[in-house]
Structures are given as C-alpha cells and as structure tokens.
Structure 1
Amino acid sequence: MALPVPLAGFAFAGDTLDRADALRDDAEALARLWPSARVLLLDEDGRALADEAGMLSAMSGATLGGGPGASLFLGLKDGEAWFAADARHHPVDAPSRIDLRRAAAAWPAFDSGVFAMARALLHWQSATRFCSACGGAITFRRAGYIAHCTHCGKDHYPRVDPAVIVAVSDGERLLLGRQAAWPPRRYSVVAGFVEPGETLEQTVAREVLEETQVRVRHCRYLGSQPWPFPGALMLGFSAVAEPDPPQVDGELEDARWFTFGEIGAALARDGNDDGAGLLLSPSISIARALIEHWHAGMRTRRVDAPTQAETGH
C-alpha cells in the first residue's frame, strides 16, 4: 500500500532548535552561554519585540545584562543558545511588537517556530501560579520546564492539549464547517480535542459525528502542527465517510459538502478575495494543508482515471 503524501507548507513545523535537554539542569553552562545568547522578549499579550521592518528582534544576553535568571532556555542553534523571557522583566525599547499569527505569515520558518515555542511555554508559566494539588506556591526549575510546589513537592510539567483535525471526504466531496465567530464565508475542516481513554481514530469518528452527524468509515494520520493558542497539538487526518447530509447543533453554525471545483475556486482566489464564494483557512494552518492535500489528491485521481474509451464503457 502506498504511503500517504506528507503534509507541508504550514507554520511551526519546519527548521527548529536542538532542545539540549541535558543543559536544563546545568546552571553554570547556561550562565556561560547567556552573554552571546539570543533572547526573545514577549509582552503580557504574548507578542514578540520586532524591528522597524516587523521582523524578529532578539536581544543578546550581553545587552540585557546579568544572567539567565528566570529566563526560559529554549535550546541551541548552531551552538548559539536561545532563551525566552517576559518583556516586563527586561524593559527595552523596540520599534514594534508582533503577534504570533502575523509572524507566522511573514517571518522565516525558524524564527516563527522559536516564537511559537516561547509563547506556549511562557503562557504555561503564567497560568501555573499555584500547585493544583495543594494550592502551594510554585517555583520553576530545569530552566523553566518544571513547576515545583514548595509545599507538597509535586512537580508540574508544560501542558500540551492533543486535538485531531480531519479532512473528511465521501469520495467526491470535502466536508467543511464554520463557526459563527469566523469571518463571513469562511469554512474549515472539522477539529476537536482528544478525550481521556480515546484513541485518535475514535476521536476523529466521534468529533465528526458530534459536529456534523456524518459517519466516518476509516481514517489515516497525515501529520501534526504545534498550535500555541495557547497550547494545542493538532494531529492531522484524512477520513472517508458516508455521504450523509450534514446537520449541526452545537459548536458549528453550518456544515456542507463542497465539490472539487468549489475548493479549487477558493484556492485560486486566495489572497485576492472578490467578496463572493468560499473562503478557506489561512495558509499558516494545518487545516489549510489538509484541504490542499485533499484537492491535490483528487486532481491526481482525475488525471489518472481511465476514460470511457479506455475502459470500454
């Protein structure tokens, strides 16, 4: 059986750091790395400091002074250390600040990927103020990766929430839904969080059924994307389903089957909206990659399909 073509083109899944786990317990080594390190400073809204052109402005440790302190050690790139810190603890001037979605669309893959990692970890730290077991005070250890309770001794680790996201087809059409809060005419693939005791395949079938009343027959995994808004991991699938008429009663405002031609027209008008027709997920998302993957597969199938003359029908 042929392997599925891997997904590509979405943000936060390209060139990345060596996370250098062993250094997280080595305070002396981190202190030596600090002066020449690159430090991402994020404000209370999770925005990164940027230069005049809106690109990443990562300060050096020497410029900020002192040592790593409470900064998060992210990892190494070509021997250079990268840290992240709360901008309120390092007041510096910067021409602008940029949110992660805009950075993902404009920055190189490595820069936006490091930003995503920093944002997810700093958000987890800001949300982890007290021990969930006893309510005791928290102190961060291992360069920011463990929240240790000073009262009961319990350790807490960064939270990642797994969610499936799935391109569902009946063999000819693609199932897309929309939420009421989205821009007008925007539709996307079905997604939902994994529940305790579920396999990923069970989550795919349950979420699609709950949100659209469409019955999934089988599915296969295609790829994943960290989605730090604030801390999800999107697990991408394709699925084949019954051609059931979609019905919504809950999270989605609408769900429909879209044809190959409708998806193709939406892809063609991307970035040049004419005010009519279907709008798709932004290009930084794995949702968009799943839609493009389905459309490319359908196009290949149509090109390779034998004609009536060749089949004798």
Structure 2
Amino acid sequence: MTNVTPPSDSTAAPERSARTGFAQNRLERHSEGREHAESVAALRASPEAVTFVLAGEVPILKSGSVSLNTRFSMAEAADLGATGESIFLGTLDGVPLFTTQLPRDAAGVVEGRPHLQAVDLRSIATQGLIPADELGPLGEAKAILHWHTRHRFCANCGAPTRVEASGWRRICDQCGAQHFPRTDPVVIMLAVRGERCLLGRQPRFATNMYSCLAGFVEPGETIEDAVRREIKEEAGLAVGRVRYLASQPWPFPASLMIGCLAEGLHEAITIDQHELEDARWFTREEVALMLADTHPQGLGTPKPFAIAHHLIRAFVNEGEGF
C-alpha cells in the first residue's frame, strides 16, 4: 500500500444520496492493504498521519481558526490518553487517517483543556459545526468504534476477540471465528397517493415534526417487501409499487438508510400507537410550507442532513410520485 495520492476526479456525485448528511466521504479506503500490518504501521508513524478522537461515542473537537477541527496528530491523541485500538480508515487527500477511542468519558477529556470540545455527532451534523466532507469520515469512525466496543467477545464461544486487518476484523483465537463490522439496513419511505403523502411522528421527535416512516429490514425480506410491511404495520396502509430514491449512511449506531417512495393503495390509515404518536396525509402545498418553516400550525420536517428531508423534498419540489 504505497499509493496514497488523492483521486484526480473530485467532481461531486450527482445522485440524491450525495445530498444527505454523512454521505460525502472521499476517503480512499485502501481495503486491499488492511492486511499489511507493516505498511499500515508505517502510515501511522508518518508525521502527516492524523486521527479522529472519540471519548466513548462522543467526538472530541479542537478549536480552529475558521471552524472546529476534527483531526489530531498521533502525539496529540497520545497526550489525551489514547493507548487503545486505532482503526485505519484510509487516506484523505493523501493524508493517512485513523480513528481512536479514549477509555475516559468526554467530560474528563476536555476538563482543563479550553481548546477542546466534546460534541455529540448528531449536534455536529445538525449545526454544521465541521465541513461536510469531514462529517462522512467522522460518522464512519463512530460506527466502526461502536462495533468494536460491542464485539470484545466472540458471539460463537464467548472468548475474547482481538483486532486484525487494521481494525476491520476481529478474530477469536479460541474457536477461530472471524467477525466483521456490520451495517444494519433500514428502509425509510414516503407513502404517496396522488397529490398527498403520508407522514408520521414518534413521541421522541422534536415538537411538531413529522417525518417518513421507517423500520429495519428483516431476514428473508427484499427492500420492497420491508417497505410494504413497515407501512402496513405502522399505518395500516396497503402499498403497491415501491421505488428506490436514495440512501444514507446513518451512524446511530451503524445503519444504511434506504430511501424509497411507496404507492398508497387507499386513504384509510390505522395508526399503531406503540410505534407512532400520529400519522396523517398531507398535500404537496402543506408539506411545502412545512419544508419552508412557514406552516400555520408550526409543523415541520427533518432538517437537510437527514434523508427523510430529501425524500419529502423530492415529492414536493421534484414532482416524484406515482
């Protein structure tokens, strides 16, 4: 793994997925080189090498001249107590990039260090605290560290596991089982019938916010069948055609949101009160007011970093539907 030059074509991807938060990720992953421990060690020892630092699952940020800085030198990370696993993410514009998890809580890390801040990833994304092309790799870092934290022991025999492949595999020396980072597929969908779409809200949502319905894909399901099942379960609505629109990496904790449009076959809905606080049909015109934060009742939609925002906007502004 000697080639760490950045790709020559930096043209932004045209698909809808690229508009979502965490989707801009220009990392050269060098997946073919993860098995070469000596090469990765040389990259880690490079004076250019940098690392994200997370205390548990909370990123630690440095004050910068323009915006908050996500990158620490290896020496700076060591000064913060980073003595554990350091995962090789890849290179970004030729710079070797790692992620490191501190054993201490976030408050203990930033105490007495006024140039540091501990900010949860959701707040970083919603408030735009770091450049967009840093957000994707940082989300990836959080997701991979979350997986490592919860896979210290073998799911097959219960023995401790150890890190291999520069942090992209754990192996059990007791039974030989290999464990790889997982991404959980989640369908998120906007049901549409003519000029109206179905939005719902859960009790945990921000006040007055309505969003798309969503749920995990179950074993043995296609994406389309998962969309139909989730809408039927949550809103009692039968669905016909299903179309894919976009996807989004979602590091809460480690999912891939698969965004779809779904054809509602009737208008009657029956809300599952265990899943939803409310659900109802909205016209394009009403949802346009919600997107613009001018709805007379103060109703709103998710912010642009969330894929739900872009599914709703595709219906309102781009005429997507059935």
Of 14, 25, 28, the match for 1:18: 28
Q: Does residue 292 of structure 2 align to residue 268 of structure 1?
A: yes
Any unmatched runs of 5+ in structure 2?
Answer: 1-13
Q: Structure 1 residues 121, 8: closer, same or farther in 2, change over 3 A?
A: closer
Residue of structure 2 in register with 1:168 after alignment = 191
User: Residue 72 of structure 1: which of 79, 87, 101 is its match?
Assistant: 87
TM-score, with length taken from structure 2: 0.84
**Aligned partners of 1:267, 1:104: CA distance in 2, in Å?**
18
Q: Where do 1:5-154 residues align within 5 Å?
A: 6-34=16-44, 35-51=47-63, 55-64=68-77, 70-88=85-103, 93=113, 94-105=115-126, 106=128, 107-154=130-177
Deviation digits for residues 225-261 of structure 1, max 9, x if unmatched? 0101001110011121123222112311111000111
Cα shift at 1:121: 0.3
Partner of 2:178 in structure 1?
155
Secondary structure of the residue aligned to 1:25 is: coil
Q: Which residue of 2 aligns with 1:307?
A: none
Q: What stretches of structure 1 of length at least 5 have no aligned partner?
A: 302-313
- C-alpha offsets along residues 284-313 of structure 1, whole Å, 9 cap, x if unaligned? 100111011110133x99xxxxxxxxxxxx
Q: For 2:220, which of 184, 197, 211 is the aligned residue?
A: 197
Corresponding residue number in structure 2 for 1:294: 315
Q: Distance in 1 between matches of 2:214 and 2:314?
A: 16
C-alpha contact 1:7 1:293 (8 A) present in aligned 2:
no
Return the offset for 1:70: 2.5
The amino acid that maps onto 1:61 is M
* Secondary structure class of the residue paired with 1:284: coil
Aligned CA-pair RMSD: 2.6
Do the aligned partners of residues 44 and 96 (structure 1) sit closer, same or farther apart at CA in structure 2, a change above 3 Å counting?
same
Native 8 Å contact 2:186 2:214 kept in 1 = yes
Contact 1:54 1:96 in 2 (8 A): no
CA–CA separation in structure 2 for the residues paired with 1:20 and 1:5: 24
Q: Distance in 2 between matches of 1:191 and 1:214?
A: 14
Give the CA deviation at 1:182: 1.6
Q: Give the secondary-structure state (helix, strand or coil) at the position aligned to 1:47.
A: strand
User: 1:158 deviation in Å?
Assistant: 0.6
Distance in structure 2 (CA, Å) of the matches to 1:119 and 1:6: 23
2:318 aligns to what SS in structure 1?
helix
The 3-state SS of whatever aligns with 1:209 is: helix
Deviation at 1:278, TM superposition (A): 1.4
| CA deviations over 1:191-244 (Å, ceiling 9, x no partner) | 111011111010011111110011111011111101010011100111211232
Amino acid across the alignment from 1:263: V
- Assess if the C-alpha contact under 8 Å between 2:25 and 2:137 holds in 1: no
Q: Does the CA-based 8 Å contact 1:148-1:155 persist in structure 2?
A: yes
Residue matched to 1:277: 298
Equivalent-residue separation in structure 1 for 2:72 and 2:53 (angstroms):
8
- Report deviation, 1:142: 0.6
Residues 8 and 289, structure 1, Cα contact 8 Å, conserved in 2: no
- TM-score, reference length from structure 1: 0.86
Residue 246 of structure 1 aligns with which residue?
Answer: 269
Deviation at 1:58, TM superposition (A): 0.9
Distance 1:65 1:124 in 2: 22
Instruction: Say if 2:293 and 2:299, in contact at 8 Å, map to a contact too.
Output: no
Equivalents in 2 of 1:289, 1:169: separation in Å? Answer: 15
- Paired with 1:197 and 1:292, the residues of 2 have a C-alpha distance of 31
Deviations 1:251-277 (A, max 9, x none): 11111000111101111117xx98x33
Cα 1:147/1:210, change in 2 over 3 Å: same
Tell whether the 8 Å contact from 1:51 to 1:57 is kept in structure 2 after alignment: no
Is 2:161–2:171's contact at 8 Å kept on the other side of the alignment?
yes
Question: What is the percent sequence identity of the aligned residues?
Answer: 39
Match of 1:234 among 251, 254, 257: 257
Query: Relative to structure 1, is the Cα distance of residues 5 and 258 closer, same or farther in structure 2, using a 3 angstrom cutoff?
Result: farther
The answer on 1:220 being equivalent to 2:243 is: yes
- Aligned residue identity for 1:60: S
Task: Report deviation, 1:101.
Answer: 1.4
3-state SS of the aligned residue for 1:14? Answer: coil
Q: Deviations over 1:101-133 (max 9, x none)?
A: 122231222111111000000000001121111
